Structures are given as C-alpha cells and as structure tokens.
Chain A
Amino acid sequence: MDFPSSLRPTLFMTGPLGLNDVSDLSMCSWQNVLTQPEAQPQNLKNGALHVTKDLLWEPATPGPLPMLPPLVDSWEPGLTAQDLLFRGGYRYRRRPRVVLDVTEQISRFLWDHGDIAFAPIGKLMLENFKLEGAGRCTKKTTVVSVKKLLQDLGGHQPWGCPWASLSNRQRRFSILGGPILGTSVASHLAELLHEELVLRWEQLLLDEACTGGALAWVPGRTPQIGQLVYPAGGALDRLHFQEVVLAPGDNPQFLGKPGHIQLQGPVRQVVTGTVQGETLLAVRSDYHCAVWKFGKQWQPALLQAIQVDKGATGISLSPHLPGELAICSRSGAVCLWSPENGLQQVYKDPETLVFRDSSSWRWADFTAHPRVLTLGDRTGVKMIDTQGPPGCGLLLFRVGAEASCQKGERVLLTQYLRHSSPECLPPTLHLVCTQFSLYLVDERLPLVPMLKWNHGLPSPILLAQLLPPPRPGCVQPLLLGGQAGHLQLLHLAGEGVSAPRLAGPPQSLPSRTDSLPAFPLLEPKIQWRLQERLKAPTIGLAAVVPPLPSASTPGLVVFQLSVAGDVFYQQLRPQADSSPRRDAQPPGDTRPDCRAPTASWTPQDTAGCSQWLKALLKVPLAPPVWTAPTFNHHHLLGSMELQREEGVVQQPGVLREAMAQGRLLLQRDLGSLPLADPPPAPESGPADELSERLREAWAGRGAAWWERRRQARTSGPRRQPRRPKRRTQLSSTFSFSGHVDPSDGTSPPHSPEGPPAGALPRSPITSPSQELTPDAWSQGIPSERRQTLHDYMAKLPLQRDTPGHAGTPPSSQASSTRATHSRQHTPILSGSQHPRKKPRMGF
C-alpha cells in the first residue's frame, strides 16, 4: 500500500491534554489543501476546482420527511435539565454551577409515596401506638394514642403549613418521633435518590447507550431495493425490517408493512455488513448481543445470541471475514465472536487506557489487519493483536498533547473507516470523534492524527458513516450525526500518495425540526407535541447512494431514526453549479436572500407530513397525572406589585380585575406596549471601509488599496464615521430582540403545557380556605394505596366518631394522616415547590 509521500507538518508533543495550542495551528485550515510547494500552484487549483464541483450536495427538501409507519408509537420525552437541576440561588453566584435538586425530588416523593416513605417506621413504632381509641388514659408516657393525634389534626390541617397550630400532644409526638422520622428515612432516601439523580443527570449529559446507531441499511437482491432495519415500539424492543425502493432523484418508496422480530430488551445498536457475498445483521441490546444472517430470500435467520452480564457497549462486524464480530463490555473485556467458534476474549482491562476516567464505556472495532482490533474508551484508542500475548498493544490515539487535545476532551466515538474505496482513501484510516474535534488517524502512523477538524456540533457525535464515492473518482462523503439531531456532511479525499484531507467546505444538513413548516397549522398544544416529537434525540443514521443508471446524476438518501421510533429521510442531490450565477450579480447587490431558494416543499411532501401527523395524533397521550392544585396567586401578584413600585409594570390592577371577572387579559387592557427599536440594518458606505480593506489586504492588494484611499482622502476630505457608535448598535442587534420581560423568567407568555417553571409559586403554603377537598384527595391516591389506607383505617373505629366527614371517611383520614407526615417534614418541604408534574423518576 502507498503511504502519503509527504505528511503535513505537525509539532509532536507528548504529555497530558490541554498542553499545547501550537500544533493545532500547524494543522490549520489552509494546510488541508497544501502539499508540496514545488508541485502545487496549478495542479492543485485545478484539482480543487474539479473536486468541489461535483461533491457539493444540497437537500432536495428543506427538511427531512417522515416515513409513514402503520402505527406511530407513543413516546414521552424523558427527563430534562429542568427536572433535575436546582433552579434558584444562582443570582448571587459568580459562576453558574450545576446543583441537582434533590430537595424537590424528595418532597415530591414524600408527597406521592408517603406510605412507602413512612410505613416502615410506623411499623417499627407500632407497639408505641395505641390504635384503639378508648378514652382511658395510658399510664405509659411513651405510648401515643393515634386517635387523639388524628383528632387534633381534625382533617383540616393545612398541608405543610408551618404556622398551623400544634397541640401539645402533637408536639410531644413530634419530639418523640422526630429524630427517627426526620433523619433516618430522609437521609437514607436522599442517599438513594441522589445516586439515582446523578445517574440520570449523567445520562442526560451524555447518553452513550446508542453509540454507533440503531438504524442500518441492508442491500437487497437488486441495487434499487433494500431494507431498513431499526427498532420500534415504545420500548425500542421490536426490530423492524422495512423494504425500501430507491429511485435516483425521487423519494424512496416504502413497500408494505415492515416485518418484525420481537426482542426481550431495547435495541441499542444495529450493524449490518456484507463480506464475501454474505450479509449479516448484528444487534446489541443492553445485556444481549445477537447476530442474524440474511438468506436467499432476504429473510433474516438467527445465528446466535449471547448474554453479556456486565453490559455490552459496542458491537462491530468484521469487514474481512464473514461471520466474525467484535464485542466489548463494561468490564473492559473485548471478545472476538463468531457463531461457529464462539467467544474468544482477546483483551481485558477494567482500567482506562491513558488516564483514569470514570466511564466504563468501551468500543471495539476492526483494522486493516483482520487479526488486529481497536479498543477505544474515553481516553484513547489502542490496537490489540488478537494473536499476540494478552494485554499488549499499541496506542493509536491518545487524548493528550499528541493530538493537541483540549482540557476535558474525551473520545465519544471511534470507527474504522471500513468502506473506504481504494482509489479514494487508504483502508487504514480510523475516525475518532470528541466533543470538539474530529480526527482521522492512520494506523500506520499512530498518535499523530492525519487530519484534525473542529466540528463544532453542539451535541455529542455518536453516529458517523463513511459513504462510497457517489461516482467513481469522486471524494467520499462522511456523514456525522449529533444526538440532538444535528447532521454534518464532510468530504474526504486522500488517494494514493497524498495525505487525507477535507475536500470542499463542510456542510450542515437540515435536522428534523426544520421540517416543522411542512406540517399544517396546528393549535399550540398539538404544535408543541409535534415539536417535542421532532426534537427527540437521534439514535440512528443510515445513508445510501442509490445506484446510478446511465447518464443520471447521483443522489444520496439519508435516513435517520429518532428515539421515539420515527424514521425520517432526507434526499440530497448534487448542487447545481450556482457559482457563475452568483458572480454575475452586481457587486453592490447585498440582498440577504440573494441565493434562490432551491429547496421547497412539494404538495406531496406536505400531504405526507399531514398524514404522519394524523397517525401521531391517533396515539393516545399518557393519562394526565394528578398534581396538587395550587391557587396561590399572591406570589405572582406580589412580585408584580413590587415591579409597580419600581414603575415598570402598571397593570396588576387590571389583571386583578380581569381575574375577578374570570376573563382573559387582553392587550387593549394594558394599553400600548413600548415600541421596540427595529434592529439596525447593516451600515453601508463608509462603514464598509474596514472589511473592504481587510478583503483587499487578504488578497494581497493592500498597498494598492491604501494608495487609492489616500488619493481619495486628499482629493476630498470626508467625515469618518465614529467607531464606538457602531459598536453599540451592533450589540443592540444581538443582545435581545423584541420585548424583554423585566421580571426575570416570569414572563407572561406561557408555553402551552403550563406555566413555566419560574412562574410557579415558591412555597407550598396554601391558606385553609383553599385546602383541598377530601374528594380531591381520594382522586389523588392511587387505587392500590387506597386499599392500604382502607386496611389501616379499618383498625381505627374513628369514622363514626368524626361528624361531618361521615360520607368519605377513608379519604378524610387519608388527608389527615398525610398531613401528619408532612408536618414532620416541614423543614424540607418549606423550601420546595409544588410538583409541576408527576415526577418521572422510577424508584
């Protein structure tokens, strides 16, 4: 094999990450096109021009379109940062800090699951309770009469009210039980809860489960037909096989209903590959891996399934030997797996490769040598010889000064670029992606990346695919997918003796949220639901280059799978050579949208979208969870009154009036809004001087420009614009737009699902008059818990003794018992907020 005859200059430094910025510079952008100076000027220019002409793609539609499934699965967006993070106390901090809100979660838990939280302690203290409500006094002071306690509470004890009156008996009880109830339950619970929250937060920051992607393309018997393999069903545990027909220049057609295989767990990764005419499908779940083989009829037949006790983190198919796979697990083991020979452990080390990192994520892949595997973790990538002595290997990539990594940089994805075509890229390249950059590493030159590029994706890159050149001799497209739906298309070239380089400008492709305009106009609630659905994280990516019939332009279809189980597709076509048209424009013409809108929605597209939406709306929503109603508007009004004192908002009186009348507050009630300044248009004329000068200087005509300028100045003095003025205008363009609410987060326009978090009352205090009715309580108590309460209450002959609550005795008791509990925890509850929605935590 050829090795690049001359590599790009790079400084080589060893050491920890965050050490040097210089070698970063020695890989600066122009060098990607620079090779040897002696041979360069003419050839390269022509080469570059030739290359960039046919490699630029443009989306055929402004956004991806949904594939119509027979059944849209229901999906709930998971936990958000808002559910997990503490929302207060930051105003006075110098730096934003992330604090998990255990308080709120635990208070929600105590409210919703009081029986679980307090019953064990109650059982332990049972002998000190006197459940029979006889009037005789007990001699022992350590025994408390429950009847009396409940009587004192009287069923109308306000929830969590710290100022509620306490009887002596209650006080005694709380002194007696306080130490136990207050600390042991709460601290134990809090410990567990905190552990869980940390886990969830880490998962929210980086959900590595679907690294590699769960969507794959299986070529069919003819080049036009293939199958998409992806998990669906609410739990992603049903593997679907959807037949697709590709026609160049046309949308893919989905044939019939997908076949499916029901699995035992959620599918995290789907890999397919064809080696020596044999097509295999490998699937990774959390604790299982399985491999299927496609037979003559393109029906999958299970070859083998294995269990991975410690949890599988990656699976890959050998590009060299049919039926060989590599899997790795959280224990740090890498196994070579073939259905015929079973598992062969080739490496095991629970420690990370380069420095200590807490992540147990591992990744295994193949290399150009069929017996050498790569093992990746967050700190680096190592090549291990499966036939060599165990434990040894050679570091291919190090998160450190060698690749001039930044502080805090970690490997997110590593992939052997197996589909490199020999006339385009050598088969020895590996892709390594971190939060910041993308590296191409050649296994023949370990540690020194051949190419480094700052991808700037705002979400973790967990998906990548190298595509075959769409036309022989073309550069190879590399597709990158971020978890939040960002897609980027790069082009790689590096044939023969030239070093791999990025050809043409990188490109970002539309994400699913860009398709929103294709859907019909919706009422806000449904719109929001649709938006949430489109925003669901991307967990799979597959791109296909449809076969080329003669004299046809190549195409590219990108399929993406969201965690909600939706498959979207985006068609790309080679960009029409639009540069002459743009050059033909008069130079002074600076209309912002001078580029003709090339992609637009066709009626077919919008029809498809509405059809999909219809299917989506058929999905029943999860039953609305009960939340404690809050009637406290004093807080809101109070803050508004404060603002009135500051002279900012004048309308609380109007609002109060409107509320009293039970009508909407309209714009006309408020008077006219202060007019916002329109954003200043870019200044023309003299202000262009700087950019003009820079442009000229960059092109090497700086002196000539200066001369011209000087002549112009001497011939006619002109007033110079003031710089500082421009600066303020610039900042006013971006720092805010439109109306800014002064009350910091409590702005009136609510999101459709309810009041924004900041607008919620800060304390759970409710006045007695607004207390919940017993009926409301019995509604709030799950049926299974109602039974527990019944059983508990059956022991108490109180019901008939309490007049006024005879109709609903259990629930009234419920509210009072719960009130008792909550009273024990006022210190915790007082700082918390009312549940916004039922916590989605699983305990």
Chain B
Amino acid sequence: MSDFSEELKGPVTDDEQVETSVLSGAGMHFPWLQTYIETVAIGGKRKKDFAQTTSACLSFIQEALLKHQWQQAAEYMHSYFQTLEDSDSYKRQAAPEISLQHALYLLHHGMLEDAKRKLSEAETWRHGEKTSSREILINLIQAYKGLLQYYTWSKKKRELSKLDKDDYAYSAVAQDVFNHSWKTSVNISALIKMPGVWDPFVKSYVEMLEFYGDRDGAQEVLTNYAYDEKFPSNPNAHIYLYNFLKRQKAPRSKLISVLKILYQIVPSHKLMLEFHTLLRKSEKEEHHKLGLEVLFGVLDFAGCTKNITAWKYLAKYVKKTLMGNHLVWVQEEWKSRKNWWPSFHFSYFWAKSDWKEDTALACEKAFVAGLLLGKGCRYFRYILKQDHQILGKKIKRMKRSVKKYSIVNPRL
C-alpha cells in the first residue's frame, strides 16, 4: 500500500459493532457501508457461523413482515427462536424488556391479570448487570403496574359509588380501594420524578390523590410536572394543572398565570380562547392588551384559520379595543402581520371559498378585514357585494362599523 493512501475509517472500539457497520472517521454511521465493503470482497473478521445465521434469519423475517408474507415470516421466526437459547449476556439483559412488551400486549388485549403477573415477574428479574438504564426500566415496569392497579381501583371505585353506605359490603370494598391507592402511589411516584413525559401516570395518580382529598399533594405533583426545568416543555402538564385549578375553583389570576405559560408554548391551543375570555374579564389593562395578542396569535396558525369562534372573538374585540381608544394596541399587533395576513387570510380566493363554505365565517372575517385593511379591501368588498337575505342586516351594520373604526382611516 502506498503511503499516501489514507484510511478514511478510524478504528472502532466496539468489536461487536464493526461487524454490522463501520463508523466513518467523520462520525456518521452508514448502515449500508458493510455491503459496499462486501462487494469489494475484503475479508476482515468474519462472524461466527451461528451469529451470521441468526442475523440473516432476522433480515429474512423483517423482509417477509414488510411484504406481509406472514406465513413465511412465521417460518423464519420458528428458526429464529433458537437464538433465545443463546446464552449471550446482552440477550439476557433484554429479558425484562421483552416482559414489558409482552405485558403491554396483554394489556392491549384486555388480559389485565396476566399483564399484572408478567410485570411482577419482570420487576423481580435479577440476572445480568444492574445498570442505571436497568433501574429506569424497573421503574417503568413498576409504574405500569401502578397503572394497572389504578385501573382496578377505578373499577372498585365505580362499584363503591353504586353501593349504599350502609351496605355490609361497603367497608370491605372501601378498604380494598384504600389499599390499592397506597400501592399505586408508591409504584407511580418514583417514576414521575424522573424527567419525561408521563401523562397517563400523572393523570391517574392525581385522580387518586384528589379522590382521597389530598389536594396539596395533587397540586404539588402537577406543579412539579409542569414547572420542573428538567422536564420537556409538555403542554399537557400545563393543561392538567389548569384543569385541576379550575376544578378547585382557583382565583382567576392563578388560572391566567398558568395559561400564560401555555400561551408561550402553544399559542394555537384551543384553551387560548378560554384564556382570552379570562383576560377580557380581568380588570387589569395589560390583560386586556394580552387578550388581543392571544387572539391574533391563535389566528396566525394554519390549523386555526377556519375557527369561527376565534374570528368572532377577534372581530368583537378589535372593535371594542378601537372603541376604547386603544388604536395603538391594534396597530402594534397589525404591524408584524400586515405584510402577510392579507394574502394569508384576506385574499380574493379565500373570500370566494369562505363565502361558499361558511357564510358566517366569511362575515366575521370580512369585518376584521375591513377594520384592519379598510373598506377597500378585496375580501371585505367581495362579501359586501354578496346579496344575502338573512345576513343583509348584519353586513350593513358591519359596513357602518368599518367606516367608523377602521385603522386604515383613523378619524383624524
């Protein structure tokens, strides 16, 4: 080999990995590199026959599955089962994982008792090395167990609600319910302290805490879940907290502060309309301003353009804001939108298609268009031209308001 031919590929530390693929010096991994090398027919280290057989078998299985040749896949699978006898330590470590998958399968097929037993088995798995990832896995298994217990609990709870308090069975069932909740809380609470998305666990845990009147505990769980910085910014965490506070009849300012954060994460969420209502009802002027911002924000998104409630709110609120001498607020919102909202919302195309699909929506939009763009706007003009018996009066009123309040022609 000449001295100027350089090796592109650096040595790889992990022996196992090399056989399936080779890491490039640049860091990117090319799963198809191996086939290239094989076509060049360089020997290298060969896999043991058995390992080769199993990997070939696996790829056959995969291919058959993807082509929906179930029968063939099953036959290959039959051969592949032998690998389960492989005494590889890696395989053994995967055992709890398989148990978890199996449990989820059983769960999905409604075999709850079996699933529970499977999870208990997986939980007590003691082979292989104990690693941190293993610990998380065990936590996850326990949490799923907790979820199953929750399921039993909620069934019992339903039973309990049917029973009369004086019934002789009541105390026994109640006791049962209590025991379950205690076990569940132990099982779930460990997992949900770890950063992650744990929606179903948090939901059921909170429901149980609420049932037993531990409101502070529930609120703490939800607050942690929503505000812990190590967690991903999960909109559901804030939604759960908001719904909980709403159930607890928390003060408006508290609700607003929760939704403010949700607004920053998901300005397109349907709770934003509720947020707007809260802000509108608030006494603070800054909340009124934010209320306008929220409405504009919702309508920025492609999925919300046909939301008639949002348009109705906006039309009303823009008019109200303009009447309340807050022209600056509207102008401020409009400034960043005036170069794209006209073609995004108020084009001639939309005027025609909105009118055809939903005249009420078209009217609300036309009103907003008139207020923001003036009476010369194509959308507004198109709707104005349409002759509609029922909406005629409304359109006339709209025309008057536009003339009076449109920001394009401020009363100077």
| Contact surface of A with B, Cβ cutoff 8 Å | 1-14, 20-23, 25-26, 28-31, 33-38, 40-42, 44-45, 56, 58, 80-82, 85-91, 93-103, 106, 187, 190-191, 194, 198, 201, 204-206, 276-278, 319-322, 357-359, 368-371, 378, 387, 402, 406-410, 422, 426-428, 435-436, 444-448, 456, 458-460, 484, 488, 505-508, 575, 582, 590-592, 594-595, 682, 688, 690-691, 694, 698, 700, 723, 726-727, 730-731, 733-735, 744-745, 757-758, 828, 831
Give the residue name and chain of the A residue nearest to B26 (CB): A358
Known: A22-B133, A102-B5, A369-B300. 18 other contacts (CB 8 A): A3-B235, A9-B140, A9-B200, A11-B194, A12-B197, A23-B196, A38-B151, A85-B36, A86-B5, A95-B22, A95-B45, A99-B5, A100-B5, A103-B2, A205-B32, A370-B340, A407-B23, A408-B21
Give the residue name and chain of the A residue nearest to B102 (CB): A698
Chain B residues with CB under 8 A of A81: 36-37, 39-40
Is the beta-carbon distance between B42 and A11 smaller than 8 angstroms? no
Known: A7-B234, A56-B68, A682-B79. A98 touches B199 (CB 8 A): no
Is the beta-carbon distance between A102 and B2 smaller than 8 angstroms? yes
Is the beta-carbon distance between A734 and B347 smaller than 8 angstroms? no
Within B17-67, which residues are at the interface with A (CB < 8 Å)?
18, 21-24, 26-37, 39-45, 49-50, 52-53, 56-57, 62-63, 65-67
Known: A12-B231, A444-B235, A458-B31. A87 touches B41 (CB 8 A): yes
Cβ of B209 under 8 Å from chain A: no
Give the residue name and chain of the A residue nearest to B133 (CB): A22
- 29 A-B residue contacts at CB 8 Å? A3-B235, A5-B236, A8-B197, A9-B200, A12-B197, A14-B195, A26-B140, A30-B101, A30-B104, A33-B108, A36-B200, A45-B109, A81-B36, A81-B39, A82-B39, A90-B44, A93-B44, A97-B7, A98-B22, A100-B6, A103-B1, A359-B28, A422-B303, A444-B268, A446-B232, A458-B31, A595-B69, A731-B49, A734-B53
Cβ of B190 under 8 Å from chain A: no
Among the stretches B70-78, B313-321, B355-363, B384-392, the one at the interface with A is B70-78
The complex places the Cα of A368 from the Cα of B45 at a distance, in Å, of 50
Is the beta-carbon distance between A95 and B300 smaller than 8 angstroms? no
Chain A residues with CB under 8 A of B107: 30, 34, 37, 40
Residue-wise, chain B 130-170 has the 8 Å CB interface mask toward A (1 for contact) of 00010011001001000110110010000000000000000
Is the beta-carbon distance between A6 and B82 smaller than 8 angstroms? no
Find the residue from A103, A447, A484 having the highest chain B CB count within 10 A: A103
Is the beta-carbon distance between B53 and A733 smaller than 8 angstroms? yes
Known: A81-B40, A484-B32, A488-B66. A6 touches B133 (CB 8 A): no
How many residues in B have their beta carbons less than 8 Å from beta carbons of A? 116
Could you say which of B24, B111, B344 contacts A205, with CB atoms under 8 Å apart? B24
Cβ of B100 under 8 Å from chain A: yes
The complex places the Cα of A698 from the Cα of B84 at a distance, in Å, of 14
Give the residue name and chain of the A residue nearest to B23 (CB): A408
Cβ of B349 under 8 Å from chain A: yes
Could you say which of A6, A86, A508 contacts B199, with CB atoms under 8 Å apart? A6
Could you say which of A9, A25, A41, A690 contacts B97, with CB atoms under 8 Å apart? A25
Is the beta-carbon distance between A1 and B269 smaller than 8 angstroms? yes
Chain B residues with CB under 8 A of A42: 110
Is the beta-carbon distance between B22 and A44 smaller than 8 angstroms? no
Give the residue name and chain of the B residue nearest to A101 (CB): B5
Give the residue name and chain of the B residue nearest to A409 (CB): B29
Give the residue name and chain of the A residue nearest to B236 (CB): A7
Could you say which of A58, A369, A378, A408 contacts B302, with CB atoms under 8 Å apart? A369
| Contact surface of B with A, Cβ cutoff 8 Å | 1-2, 4-9, 11-12, 15, 18, 21-24, 26-37, 39-45, 49-50, 52-53, 56-57, 62-63, 65-72, 75, 77-79, 81-82, 84-85, 97, 100-102, 104-111, 114, 133, 136-137, 140, 143, 147-148, 150-151, 154, 194-201, 203, 230-236, 239, 265-266, 268-270, 300-304, 336, 340, 343-344, 347, 349-350
Is the beta-carbon distance between B5 and A96 smaller than 8 angstroms? no
Is the beta-carbon distance between B301 and A369 smaller than 8 angstroms? yes
Is the beta-carbon distance between B85 and A723 smaller than 8 angstroms? yes
Minimum Cβ distance to chain B for residue A732 (Å): 9
The complex places the Cα of A444 from the Cα of B303 at a distance, in Å, of 13
Known: A204-B36, A731-B53. A29 touches B27 (CB 8 A): no
Could you say which of B68, B137, B147 contacts A505, with CB atoms under 8 Å apart? B68
Is the beta-carbon distance between A22 and B137 smaller than 8 angstroms? yes
Chain B residues with CB under 8 A of A723: 82, 85
The complex places the Cα of A409 from the Cα of B24 at a distance, in Å, of 11
Give the residue name and chain of the A residue nearest to B195 (CB): A12
Is the beta-carbon distance between B7 and A322 smaller than 8 angstroms? no
Is the beta-carbon distance between B104 and A31 smaller than 8 angstroms? yes
